[in-house]
Structure 1
């Protein structure tokens, strides 16, 4: 198993998955909007999702495209629990949905699980930050997007 859940040892993964419910989104559905309340997250089972960033005076910039096994949304983990990006189903999506409050309670009850989940989310955040930086430089950099000097 890859992605966020794959980073957890079996015992932790099973405890987190016990909180999951199956959901689906049609292509084009907005899953969440930047700046709104982050009270859940998803792990993609099938399909793909784009993450986007509002850019004043322009249409939203697509930062990254996510696929099966990947985490949609990490903003639920840190106050003030608001989305830092937006998300849209690029194709029909089936996913595991998790209630953020229930997962935070589980993490409080088992600090080992909480640490492992926070570390796994931090790794996702680090990769996404790098991806967002590269994408924004590509879109809005002074030389038409090349990352080369």
Structure 2
């Protein structure tokens, strides 16, 4: 049974079932690279168990971890927004089990079902906003002078 959190909680039962009909179960070992920033975003995952670190390339330094995702969370949103290239990198920080989805198949399903497309678009937009906030805060923590991240 699929938990009704994250994207599953954002979809109606019918749409959840339609989406899950396209899923396949996959796993990633600890420290396994899931995808690299700039690569082709042709799939996405919903994490079932484990954690994945999202990182951002910082020239002249090692990649900065900007967020960590866990159970029920969407791994990858770049598949939804052209030009479909990863905006961050991702690496398993523990053993991970996830549902993997072919992005083209999901976009096709959304194209045939405006209600599903609206639910997915609303959810993915929220994910993008949360990841942007998280990345901003983390990068300010790492690289800005003390107090530079304060918002009036």
TM-score by shorter chain over 0.5: yes
Aligned counterparts of 1:146 and 1:108: Cα–Cα separation in 2: 43
Q: Is 2:112 the partner of 1:109?
A: yes
Unaligned residue ranges in structure 1 (runs of 5+): none
2:16 corresponds to which of 13, 17, 21? 13
Question: For this pair of structures, how many residues does the alignment match?
Answer: 148
Unaligned residue ranges in structure 2 (runs of 5+): none
Structure 1 contact 36–82 (Cα < 8 Å) conserved: yes
Aligned counterparts of 1:85 and 1:10: Cα–Cα separation in 2: 31
TM-score scaled by length of structure 2? 0.94
Q: Is 2:125 the partner of 1:118?
A: no
TM-score scaled by length of structure 1? 0.96
3-state SS of paired residue (1:13):
helix
When the two chains are superposed, the root-mean-square deviation of aligned CA atoms in Å is 1.2
Structure 1 contact 43–71 (Cα < 8 Å) conserved: yes
Aligned counterparts of 2:52 and 2:60: Cα–Cα separation in 1: 24
2:56 alignment counterpart: 53
Q: Is 2:83 the partner of 1:80?
A: yes
